[in-house]
Amino acid sequence: MLDIKFIRENKDLIDAGAKKKHINFDVNKLLEVDDARRSLLTSIENKKAEQNKVGESITRPTADQAEKDRLIGEMRDLKELIKIEEDRFGEIMKEWQQLMVAVPNIPDMSVPEGVDDNDNVEIRTWGEIPKFDFTPKGHIDLMLENDMADFERGTKVAGFRGYFLKNAGARLEFAVWQAAMDFFTKRGFDPMIVPSLVRRETLLGTGYIPQGEDDLYKTQDTDYLAGTGEVATMSYYSDEVIDLKELPKRMLAFSPCFRREAGSHGKQTKGVYRVHEFFKLEQVILCEASHEMSVTFHEELTKNAEEFLQALGIPHHVVINCGGDIGLGQVKKYDIEAWMPSENKYGETHSSSYFHDFQTRRLNIRYRDAEGKLRFAHSLNNTAIATPRVLISIIENNQQADGSIVVPEILRPYMSGVSVIEKGDAKKL
């Protein structure tokens, strides 16, 4: 959410930002509603002040009964008018709030023009694309042959996009989590296990609803299952004032994640690329309200994720997302995409974003600056690692001609020292 004063003073900038993000938003409509809100609020306050004056006049010792009766009638009329205006104010506030949460954040000037992910711009690559002297297999075949997963029973139990990981598949996923936990905590991140079941306010605060509500699972109690650990982690400090000395806050959040994948029918329906239930470790940072700091930490988060992929030995590239491929609240976003041999292309595994005070204003996360002034913090987040999706690149890039899979060195200590997953040996891990 942006400050209404900022919106009023930068109407053209808001309009240009919405157009760059390809978001349909009428800033003039918001300002019209805000004018009505302000006018009505002033009228209510003036009538209440007048009501107080009338009340004081009624209690004056010099007022005779006729004067008191007249003033009581005036008081009654004011009360009715205030009630009418307060009811109208409530209606206007609902409309104003709906428009305010729909205001898109302004993208950075470095964000390229574009409509969707086809217009994202590659900025760097890492690693050599593997060249096999045999026909490489996809992760589904490799996992089934090595008894690492069961997709048929996954569908039977959990429905469409359901899956079981087992034996070396389960151990490999646990190994990724443990390696990531060690890797990122050594870089100053505080580990947290955060809730996936969250209240509506937490999703509003982080900007995932109302726009993204169709992709969320909702409980019978009107709570939600979050699609990323960022949601609960950001809300951890909601309605709090953080000591300046404690900034920046670096948090590493682990959680199950749930997405309906609304609108993705027919897209990568098999295997573990696009599933309804998965797990993430998420980097989250709260820092001072400084654009320069946000930019610095954005690059830091992205570098952390890249270097973990490099430790896994996975070829990848980084793209800067175009205006049409960044969300409502993001100022700038990078995607990291890992190489998938079976697809002969990169597939998105990480996203890295900063928001300025878009989320913290909604969540009321503040700090006192060096002068003692209360300010909204800036927020950033970046995928540390998401599973089981990253297993695709680990398995496919490390496959051998006989169908066995070389375990990346960084993961071996977490897999009892096993260096190769071979057929028939999965249960020995």
Catalytic residue among 362, 389, 393, 396: 389
DSSP state of 180: H
Q: Which residues pair with 319 in a beta bridge?
A: 122, 335
**Is 389 part of the annotated catalytic residue set?**
yes
171 assigned to active site: no
259 is catalytic: yes
Identify the active-site residue in 161, 171, 250, 259.
Answer: 259
As beta bridge partners, residue 150 has 164
Cβ atoms 126, 317 nearer than 8 A = yes
- What backbone phi and psi angles, to 5 degrees, belong to 145? -65, -30
Helix (H), strand (E) at residue 97:
helix 65-100
User: How would you label 167-183 residue by residue, b for 16+ Cβ within 10 Å and e otherwise?
Assistant: bbbbbbbebbbebbbeb
Q: Which residues sit opposite 11 in a β-bridge? A: none
Residue 87: C-alpha distances to residues 32, 50, 52, 80, 94 (Å): 19, 19, 20, 11, 11
Annotated active-site residue 238? The verdict is: no
Answer whether 333's CB lies under 8 Å from 326's CB. Answer: yes
Number of H helices, E strands in the chain: 12, 18
User: Counting beta carbons within 10 angstroms of the beta carbon of residue 229, is it exposed (0 to 12), middle (13 to 18) or buried (19 or more)?
Assistant: buried
Six-digit token pair at 36?
A: 């009505």
Backbone torsions φ then ψ of 17, nearest 5 degrees: -65, -40
Q: Given the residues 8, 348, 375, 404, select the one marked as catalytic.
A: 348
Establish whether 274 is a catalytic residue.
Answer: yes
Beta carbons of 113 and 323 less than 8 angstroms apart? yes
3-state DSSP call for residue 197? strand
363 backbone dihedrals φ, ψ, rounded to 5° = -90, -5
> Considering 235, 255, 294, 351, which one is annotated as catalytic?
351
Question: Which residues are 382's β-sheet partners?
Answer: 283, 352
79: tokens are 């009360």
Q: Catalytic pick from 37, 274, 375, 412?
A: 274
Exposed/middle/buried for residue 47 (C-beta within 10 Å: 0-12, 13-18, 19+): middle
Distance in angstroms (rounded) separating the CA atoms of residues 80 and 98: 28
Sign of the alpha-carbon torsion through 86, 88, 91, 93: negative
Which residue in 382, 358, 379 sits closest to 21, CA to CA?
358
- Which residues are the active-site residues? 259, 274, 348, 351, 389
